[in-house]
Chain A
Amino acid sequence: MRPPIVSIDGVTKRFGETAAVDQVSIDIQANEFFALLGPSGCGKTTLLRMLAGFETPNEGRILIDGDDMTRVPPNRRPVNMVFQSYAVFPHMTVEANVAYGLKVEGIGGAELRRRVDEALAMVRLENFRARKPDQLSGGQRQRVALARALIKRPKVLLLDEPLSALDKKLREQMQLELVRLQHEVGITFVMVTHDQEEALSMANRIAVMDHGRVLQIADPRTLYEHPTHRFVAEFIGTVNSLDVEVRSVDGPHARIRHPLLGEITVERAAPDVERGVVVARPEKLRLDFSAPPVDGEILLDAVVEQIAYYGDLSFVFVRCPDGTALQISRYNVNRQDKGDPAAGSLCRVGIHPDDLLLVGTG
């Protein structure tokens, strides 16, 4: 395997007493679209700023393409950043903004013109080159920030919540656009986001952070289907969590007991999980019994409490006789569908032990 393009090695950054980034180690491969995901204040921006060179770690090293960059100033790093506020220069035209990074390097003449044209074409802003930033929309300003960074041909492009200032429609459009750009230019992207859907749909791999620590690094499917921590399971998507008693563990499996489920064998998220909660995704639970029951499925009686209708799918909130609340999602596949059960009605919920996962609470 090739050496990683970015290697974050045991990095800690403290502001006063608190560690904003705590013993983080991540290797990012060339050409990856990597996402740093976590709730507000978990240290994502701080980590990104250390990659860019705006903060210096208290401990650990940062290697970019094999070179130790821990103490190299930002203007001598082969990385560029797209800022959350875009930080487009307001007194310069679009063209001057894009050309800036080459001009300060002393590149001019035909090469400058060619590369500016190329960068503007890449973000489809050829017709806006003479405009000032205050004559652009938010999405266009963001494209300027992108072109301005990409024109430098960095080894790594850093993006700090690049889409958070855009409205929903534009955000979805720019998500596709960013992924397309990344394929086109073949540059490693490292993107910070607190939006789990954004991370899942765009990134090849995601690091989930909480309180300055990295909890899990994995591809989107693994993160969703095999979270190792309760925090990851609950932060990504929605999940039903059940407190259980662990009877015994054996390799990848655990024997658990729960008043509703009885004593069953479920998968274990990681070899070090010996206590914890069992999680189940709402779409893995079954409410419609039009399809034949599956072998080994556990059926629970419940009362429908509430229904949230989203058009394409509905969330049904039910409560079991012992007080356990569960949520189940069901797709509204059929236009002739009679719809969701009425609130207050009795129903049965099907759970298959294969869809349950024992995760650690740490």
Chain B
Amino acid sequence: MARSRPGPLDYTRRWWLRFWLLATFVFLYAPIVILVVFSFNDSRRNIVWQGFTTDYYVRALNNLSLLEAFGNSLTIALLSTVISTVLGGLLALGLYRFRFPGRSSVEAASALPIVVPEICMGVALLVFFAEIGWRPGLPWPLSLANIVAGHVAFSFPFVAVVVRARLAGFDRAQEEASKDLGASEWQTFRYVTLPFMKPGLIAGALLAMTLSLDDFVITFFTSGPDTLTFPVKVYSMVRFGATPEVNAASTVLIAVTVLLTILAVRLQRPDKGVA
């Protein structure tokens, strides 16, 4: 039987396209797979497979300073995500809703932290906190405040951009309809505008969360000598050679982010038809 020519959309029937797809996935995921696999490697060093063990997870769990760094990172991520989402959402709403002189300049200025190199932000924040006389050595959650502030500064513009894009498709007549039906300004926001913004807010929050969790440069510059976050701690551990303990800790972090992403996608699902 003669094989029919594949149509333009039958990409799975072209072997080279399949190969390309496979190569892309290998390129994207091989390092992560290796990281996860070697977290179970029964060897001090990371080079040769010696046998399966979960020892290094136990070791990581017993490493108090690693745990503290992990806790710090999650706390910072949580706080900065909440603040960034609120600020970014409000900024997007304000830019969408109001016409005022200098509006486009405000919009451009608010997106600046996205393009400013991180290293410059880091140095700027370092100088800023030194200038205002920020004192390290405050009790625990307060000791993270300057890092949280730094993270908010670079992640809320991302939230604003995402929510703004979402709002571009909003039919303003819906707000008018709501008021026409007797709703107050607040009720209109709560029941009509906010539900429309929700997918954008969730996507933005997710972005802010991952940006904060793995930020190294800015945190490195803003954190005091005794506040460690996870990426900074991992960096200091790797300097003495990558042990499977680092792999184990990283695997846990990957699991946490994947779970959060799945959760966020789930939350978004009932609104799928809205877009």
Residues of A within 8 A of B (CB): 52-54, 73-76, 80-81, 83-85, 87-91, 100-101, 104-105, 132, 134-135, 145, 148-149, 152
Contacts and interface: CB of A to CB of B under 8 A. Distances in A.
A90 B273 contact: yes
Contacts, number: 71
Contact of A104 (B173, B174, B184, B196): B184
Interface string B173-214: 110111111111001000110011000000000000000000
Contacts of B177: 81, 83, 87-89, 145, 148
Given A83-B176, A83-B177, A100-B178, A75 B184 contact: yes
Given A74-B176, A104-B187, A85 B181 contact: no
A152 B181 CA distance: 7
B191 A104 contact: yes
B158 to A, nearest CB: 24
B64 interface: no
Contact of A80 (B181, B183, B195, B273): B181
A52 B182 CA distance: 11
Nearest to A101: B181
Contacts of B176: 52, 54, 74, 81, 83, 87
Q: Which of B180, B187, B195, B274 has the most CB of A within 10 A?
A: B180
B274 A91 contact: yes
Contacts of B171: 85, 87
Interface string B246-275: 000000000000000000000000010110
Contact of B179 (A75, A88, A149): A75
B188 to A, nearest CB: 9
Given A89-B174, A91-B196, A74 B179 contact: yes
B172 to A, nearest CB: 9
A149 B183 CA distance: 13
B171 to A, nearest CB: 6
Given A101-B181, A152-B182, 6 more contacts: A54-B180, A75-B182, A75-B183, A89-B177, A91-B196, A134-B274
A52 B180 contact: yes
Interface of B: 171, 173-174, 176-184, 187, 191-192, 195-196, 271, 273-274
Contacts of B192: 89
B274 A90 contact: yes
B195 A85 contact: no
B180 A80 contact: yes
A95 to B, nearest CB: 14
Contacts of A85: 171, 173
A14 B217 CA distance: 55
Contacts of A52: 176, 180
Contacts of A132: 273
B180 A75 contact: yes
Nearest to B177: A87
B180 A74 contact: yes
Contacts of B173: 83-85, 87
B181 A100 contact: yes
Contacts of B195: 91
Contacts of A145: 177
A100 B174 contact: no
Contacts of A91: 195-196, 271, 274
B273 A104 contact: no
B196 A81 contact: no
B274 A104 contact: no
Q: Which of A75, A76, A81, A105 has the most CB of B within 10 A?
A: A75
Nearest to B181: A101
5 smallest beta-carbon distances between A and B, as pairs: A101-B181, A87-B173, A87-B177, A104-B183, A91-B195
Contacts of B180: 52-54, 74-75, 80-81, 149
A53 to B, nearest CB: 8
A104 B181 contact: yes
Given A104-B182, A148-B181, A152-B182, A134 B273 contact: yes
A73 B183 CA distance: 11
B170 to A, nearest CB: 10
Nearest to A81: B180
Nearest to B170: A90
A17 to B, nearest CB: 18
17 contacts: A52-B176, A54-B180, A74-B180, A80-B181, A81-B176, A81-B177, A87-B174, A89-B177, A89-B192, A90-B196, A90-B273, A100-B181, A104-B181, A104-B187, A104-B191, A134-B273, A149-B181
A256 B178 CA distance: 57
Nearest to B275: A90
A75 B184 CA distance: 7
Q: Which of B177, B184, B274 has the most CB of A within 10 A?
A: B177
Q: Which of B171, B173, B179, B182 has the most CB of A within 10 A?
A: B182
B242 to A, nearest CB: 48
A243 B192 CA distance: 57
A84 B171 CA distance: 12
A140 B83 CA distance: 41
Nearest to B196: A91
Nearest to A90: B274
A81 B178 CA distance: 10
A136 B177 CA distance: 19
A2 B3 CA distance: 83
A39 B190 CA distance: 38
B200 to A, nearest CB: 13
Contacts of A75: 179-184
A266 to B, nearest CB: 48
A309 B207 CA distance: 64
